[in-house]
Structure 1
Amino acid sequence: MKKIVWIMAALTLVSLAFAQQKAEDVIKAQCAKAPVVAELWHGFRGGAPRAALENLAVEFNKMHEGEGCVRPISQGGYRDLSTKIKAAFAAGTLPALAQAFENNIALYLEADALMPLDDVITDLDQLNPLFVNAVRFDGKLYGLPFNKSVQILYYNRDLLKKHGLEVPRTLEGFIETARKLSAAEGEPVYWFRPDTSTFSYWFFNMGGSYLKDGKLVVNSPEAVKALETMVNGVKDGWAKAITSGYINQNFGKGVYGFSTDTSAGYSYYLKAAKFDLGIATLPGSGDKPGLGLVQGTDLIIFQDVSDAAKKLAGEFINFVSSPKAQALFSAATGYVPVNLKAIDEPALQDHLMDNPDFKVVIEQANYAAFEPAIAEWEQIRFDILGQAIKEAVLGKASPQEALDKAQKQVEDLMAGRIR
């Protein structure tokens, strides 16, 4: 198994003179003396992402001592974050900066609450264009791609070697290999969580699109085929639905062969695996990798704060999107570096030398797919489509029935008949 090299202690542009776990306290002290404080509400509960963000904030604040301070404040998880931002609209207590998914941005734009960033981001041409285009609305840029992950294929090298099989490169090869391994081992080897993310892999790579003629469609023939693949995989014994905890938390409870999961989970997979874990680009069609769902958030700036806070926020997003900062953030967290020049930075080169598999994540980011950037998508993703997928996989409804029901709920929601 490849050695993980954690560089969290070096996650600043110069060496920090204090321990990583003290970053939050350092920020409080920095902001207590600052003439301008720009709050950054985020959805990192803890771990490497939160520590990485706080260390970046510490270094930024050191560079702007006497001018201003950015203060990251965790709001819990991502859904907690969006809920609290909605409450802040009503209370008039919005922060200067926040993390937001593309569908959140669409919602906030309905209130004309966001600051356009076209004239703020100085090195826009260095950023991954797929990520940038996803945060353009009516031709204007309203977000800075920040912590982005992409689906990849995780696999058990030992199991493939045991049976003389190769890593699958196509959808058909993926299913065939999973069938062979499952038959040989006597239990399913493709593990998945019955959620919208797993569904999206099959859906996008079977030619699916959520938007047809300007209408949101979740029960298309491609959607039914994708869900049937998941359901039939369980029935036929080559796929296993993980309904409790993350996939890596279930290692040891059966024979694991494959999963299609977010690259942000790479370090957790490595820690949990007692076998030789490999990662690869997703099986697709022909000689091209499959499309991987992009997850993770963008940084936004709200209009309803002081000019000084907006100026400071703009300087911060340029700082965290620089090649050096992105290299450090990516190496520490496993997120995709959104700045294309980050690959040339020593921090990321060192990380790739010790973790060569991470090149897969960078390559997969060129084959990306996004969910609809509409204001209602959060509710649809979790409460409507997500529920339909679970019902079908758990045998409570056929794929067609589950998706037809979801389509009716989507149409009612979009028309304002339900909330």
Structure 2
Amino acid sequence: MKHLKLRSFTAFAAIGALMVTSACGSTASENANTAPANTSEKPAASAAAPAASTPVKVLWWHSMGGELGKAVDKLVADFNASQKDIQVEAVYQGSYDESLNKMKASMDSKSGPTMIQVFEIGSRFMIDSKAITPVQKFIDAEKYDLSKLEENILGYYTFDGKLNSLPFNTSNPILYYNKDMFKAAGLDPEKPPQTFEDVKKAAEAISKTKPGAGASFAIYGWFMEQFFANQGAELIDNGNGRTSPATKSQVNSDIGVKTLTWWKDLVDSKVATNLGRKTDDTKKAFLAGQVAMTLDSTASLRGIVDGANGKFQVGTAFLPKPADAKEGGVIVGGASNWILNNKPEAEQKAAWEFMKFLAKPETQAFWHINTGYFPITKAAYDQQSVKDNLTKYPQFKTAVDQLHNTKLNKATQGAVMGVFPEARQLTETAIEEALTGKKQPQAALDDAAKGISEKIANYNKTVAK
């Protein structure tokens, strides 16, 4: 299979300079002492490679740093110790966009990885690159049972009925709120806001004594994408880019304008505070008791709950939406693992064996507990360690329920386009312009939609060559 021409990769590298952090958000960094149970079960050596004196080496590039990286190293060590035919080497490559640009640079050599972790918004590019072997090939060959994995997570990575990569780390956004501040404002701390209107009322009550303390939501394109899906709306045309390649942005639709107008009104009426683009800044303000509500990734839950321990009680709620919104849900964020097709077949099969190990209930239980990411495997919730973790962190039930309550359709599957990172930046610029009064919501989103549509058109021309 021919790779996407080098100039396409170069074009993407230019986009990389504008890329933002992935949808997985900030993650909890506490490293629990729970290890995967039963990881000694051997992968099917016959499927991976014939028994040999030298094991097949799999080079895995990932973007999990810090405590997440320690969890990754533990998983790799357990897999390598469980059998003798495959040895995985995990190498941290920096942020998602940095890793992807390094992959581009390695395409004409043998120095690249066997498999690579790529953020969800890089999926369209990975497919168009023609550089991957879809995992569907291995699934079909051995009739691997996908029904044991979460349908709403698989949905994002399924294109034309085919799974191209296997999900690994998954999250979605939820509303975090300070129960103590709610109670002090005369609000019921056990009844969190569910709608845009509820958020406004709660923020008004809290801000009576402290202006702007009601809420703070980071200017993050991922949140706008989620607000679209939660209202059953598609962000781009052609079935969110899934029926056929997208040609234009719909971020300036009535849904987008209504959402940004609500957001701007919270700030203009001084019941919410605009702290800019960094989720870390809104998280710090929340943990300091400066704001009562914020949006963040479910992967941040443990860090937020632990950070508030001894200071206030943290409540969690579904992502809010307008009271009259159509049925919708949330899109999964995070990343998946891809197998590259410029490696020998035995090496690719070995990578698939490792992917299956990562999807095991015991492995996913360990990963979930130590990182805060969702298990991608349903049976992981039956593990006692996961049950104990839910008892310790009951707020996580909100995240699980939100995932399971989402009905899969084109809106909740999520948009896919080859210029997604750049599109997200343009959306963030529009939000910023509206919140700071530089432009009205409609004008700001019109400009963003025009810019995104132009980027999509240029990308489509490059891919067609």
Identity across the alignment (%): 29
- Provide the C-alpha distance between the structure 2 equivalents of 1:355 and 1:102, rounded to a whole number of angstroms: 27
Aligned 8 A contact 1:205 1:290 in 2: yes
Of 239, 250, 256, the match for 2:291: 256
Matches within 5 A, 1:323-402: 323-368=361-406, 369-382=412-425, 384-402=426-444
| Residue 193 of structure 1: aligned partner | 218
Matches within 5 A, 1:192-271: 192-213=217-238, 215-243=248-276, 245-251=280-286, 255-271=290-306
Partner amino acid for 1:250? A
Of 303, 309, 318, the match for 2:341: 303
| Alignment deviations for residues 193-232 of structure 1 (CA, whole Å, 9 cap, x no partner) | 0121232343333443212345432211111111111112
| Residue 50 of structure 1: aligned partner | 69
| Residue 448 of structure 2: aligned partner | 406
Aligned 8 A contact 1:114 1:301 in 2: yes
Distance apart, 1:260 and its partner CA: 1.9
Distance apart, 1:105 and its partner CA: 2.5
Partner amino acid for 1:237? K
Secondary structure at the residue paired with 1:70?
strand
Gap change, CA 1:390 and 1:288, over 3 Å in 2:
closer
Aligned 8 A contact 1:249 1:272 in 2: no
Partner amino acid for 2:294? S
| Alignment deviations for residues 47-101 of structure 1 (CA, whole Å, 9 cap, x no partner) | 2x22111111110000122x12111111111121222122222445331111123
Distance apart, 1:277 and its partner CA: 1.3
Aligned 8 A contact 2:174 2:298 in 1: yes
> More relative contact order in 1 or in 2 (CA 8 Å, sep 6+)?
2
Distance apart, 1:161 and its partner CA: 1.6
Distance apart, 1:40 and its partner CA: 1.0
- Provide the C-alpha distance between the structure 2 equivalents of 1:117 and 1:51, rounded to a whole number of angstroms: 26
User: Aligned-residue CA RMSD in angstroms?
Assistant: 2.7
How many residue pairs match? The answer is: 397
- Provide the C-alpha distance between the structure 2 equivalents of 1:5 and 1:411, rounded to a whole number of angstroms: 38
Partner amino acid for 2:428? G
Please list every run of 5 or more consecutive structure 1 residues that lacks an aligned counterpart in the other structure.
17-32
Gap change, CA 1:253 and 1:103, over 3 Å in 2:
closer
Distance apart, 1:119 and its partner CA: 4.6
Normalising by structure 2, we get a TM-score of: 0.78
Secondary structure at the residue paired with 2:458?
coil
Partner amino acid for 1:413? K
Matched, 1:8 2:32: yes
Aligned 8 A contact 1:231 1:392 in 2: yes
Normalising by structure 1, we get a TM-score of: 0.87
Aligned 8 A contact 1:96 1:302 in 2: yes
Please list every run of 5 or more consecutive structure 2 residues that lacks an aligned counterpart in the other structure.
1-27, 41-52, 239-245, 407-411
- Provide the C-alpha distance between the structure 2 equivalents of 1:204 and 1:186, rounded to a whole number of angstroms: 31
- Provide the C-alpha distance between the structure 1 equivalents of 2:221 and 2:393, rounded to a whole number of angstroms: 29
